[in-house]
Chain A
Amino acid sequence: MERFVFFGGKGGVGKTTVSSAYAHKCATAGLETLLVSTDPAHSTADVFDQHFADDPTPVEGYDSLSVMEIDPDVAVDEHLMEIKRALGDQVSPSIVNEIDRQIELAHQTPGAHEAALFDRFIEVMRSADDYDRVVFDTSPTGGTLRLLSLPEYLEGWIDRLLQKRESSVDLYEKAAIGGREPRRSQVGDPIIARLQQRKENFEFAGRTLRNEAAFFLVLNPDELSLRETKRAIESYAEKNLPVNGLVMNRLTPEPDPEEDGRGARYLRDRVETESTRVRTVREEFDPPLVAAIETRIAEVKGDLLADVADELDVSV
């Protein structure tokens, strides 16, 4: 199994439950496991009844399970502070104010949050050497897809910036005729260094996602969920990230055969429609259905987590 495992899917289908159950399964199998929640509305804390922070916190009652909840706001603020510090070191105070506004602005664009989240993603993947398995509980489909498509997209953009910068610096060097000092020089240009470092970072992310990551989609047995999953599989394929498996969650339990009340009839009908949906998924969808999990009466936590984990037919 790949080292990085992503669980995605439509909102409210139980991604957190499934990814927590998988993390539980890995941890109890003896793997050093890290569960990372990237959904801004974190709910891993509710599953394990414990408060988690922005860095890995060991879960009580487990030997080898840690959880972290990524908070992009913290990352955005840190980024902002870091730039301001560099600005203070580099630039005369008269310009600082002018530039300050520009920087503040850049940190309020809608992309900033995403970029910060993405940076943290890469950081987690880079510093995951201590863990045998990193499980990502991602935000609903759209957001995650955009996030995962960022490396390719940004790589191209940074590449263009880099080329432009290089050609302008090159011209400045050429303009320095007769042993004059060029206005800028290729060697030690902080901009080129910075851009190259960014580019390298994106390439790492792209490479890791393609080679060392597995993707699972969680869905519910209803028409909307099925359709969205179908679209998601296609978009993942477009990004060259094949989906490894599907997890069907929230299946209605079947009543005992001798029961024949109104509730039992309702359940039986429900099971009927749901089983056709499960069949559709098995027959028409390309990634295999790796688990069909029944609805639990109580919130999935504690011992129930182990139950759900047992139903997951995903190799550890």
Chain B
Amino acid sequence: MDLEARIAAFREWVEEWARGLYHGMISHPAYELVEKEAEDQEDAFLLACFPDAFGIPSPVSYYTAELLPYLAEEFDQWERRMWDRESMLERKGQQYHF
């Protein structure tokens, strides 16, 4: 293998690592952070829509019920998230990589 090819291979390797590092250290955590926040917002939305799932009567459950067909998947995920979440600290803690 001549020098040129080895340099090219090395550069490819560096680029891949740099991309990986950037993704792992910067973009992925950032993406995760925003997405978690979005999930939190969605949780709040779903809680406002379906408080009856927790035994709190909702004045508009009649109207929000018609959203369920479109929210079914999210509803499922939401219920799971609500079970998983043990404390506010734990949930918020997940968003940071200490």
Q: How many residues of A contact B (CB 8 A)?
A: 47
Q: How far is the CB of A213 from chain B (nearest CB, A)?
A: 23
Q: How far is the CB of A232 from chain B (nearest CB, A)?
A: 22
Q: Mark B31-42, 1 if CB is under 8 A from A, else 0.
A: 100110111011
CB atoms of B38 and A175 under 8 A apart: yes
Q: Does A295 contact B (CB under 8 A)?
A: no
The residues of A that contact B63 with a CB separation of less than 8 Å are 115, 154, 158, 198
Q: Does A262 contact B (CB under 8 A)?
A: no
Interface residues in B46-64 (C-beta closer than 8 Å to A): 48-50, 52-53, 57-64
The residues of A that contact B68 with a CB separation of less than 8 Å are 83, 87, 99, 102-103
Q: Does B73 contact A (CB under 8 A)?
A: yes
The residues of B that contact A174 with a CB separation of less than 8 Å are 34, 38
Q: Does A112 contact B (CB under 8 A)?
A: yes
CB atoms of A99 and B72 under 8 A apart: yes
Complex Cα distance A175/B95, Å?
A: 13
CB atoms of B65 and A116 under 8 A apart: no
Given the known A-B contacts A168-B45, A177-B31, are A103 and B65 also in contact in the complex, defined by CB atoms under 8 Å? yes
Interface residues in A276-296 (C-beta closer than 8 Å to B): none
Complex Cα distance A90/B70, Å?
A: 7
The residues of B that contact A153 with a CB separation of less than 8 Å are 59
Q: How far is the CB of B81 from chain A (nearest CB, A)?
A: 13
For B57, give the chain A residue with the smallest CB separation: A109
Q: Does B82 contact A (CB under 8 A)?
A: no
B71: contacting residue among A115, A167, A191, CB under 8 A? A191
Q: Does B76 contact A (CB under 8 A)?
A: yes
Complex Cα distance A118/B94, Å?
A: 45
CB atoms of A102 and B50 under 8 A apart: yes
The residues of B that contact A83 with a CB separation of less than 8 Å are 65-66, 68-69
For A84, give the chain B residue with the smallest CB separation: B69
Q: Does A107 contact B (CB under 8 A)?
A: yes
Given the known A-B contacts A102-B50, A171-B41, are A154 and B60 also in contact in the complex, defined by CB atoms under 8 Å? yes
Besides the contacts A95-B76, A112-B62, A180-B31, what 14 more A-B pairs have beta carbons closer than 8 Å?
A: A89-B69, A96-B72, A98-B76, A99-B72, A102-B68, A105-B61, A106-B52, A109-B61, A112-B61, A165-B45, A167-B41, A175-B31, A183-B38, A195-B67
15 interchain pairs (CB within 8 A)?
A: A89-B69, A102-B75, A111-B58, A111-B62, A112-B62, A158-B60, A168-B42, A169-B38, A171-B37, A171-B41, A172-B38, A175-B34, A175-B38, A190-B70, A191-B70
Query: Which 9 residue pairs across A and B have the least CB separation, nearest first?
Result: A171-B38, A168-B41, A106-B65, A175-B34, A164-B45, A115-B62, A86-B69, A175-B35, A91-B72
Binding site for B on A (CB under 8 A): 79, 82-83, 86-87, 89-91, 95-96, 98-99, 102-103, 105-107, 109, 111-112, 115-116, 153-154, 157-158, 160-161, 164-165, 167-169, 171-172, 174-178, 180, 183, 190-191, 194-195, 198
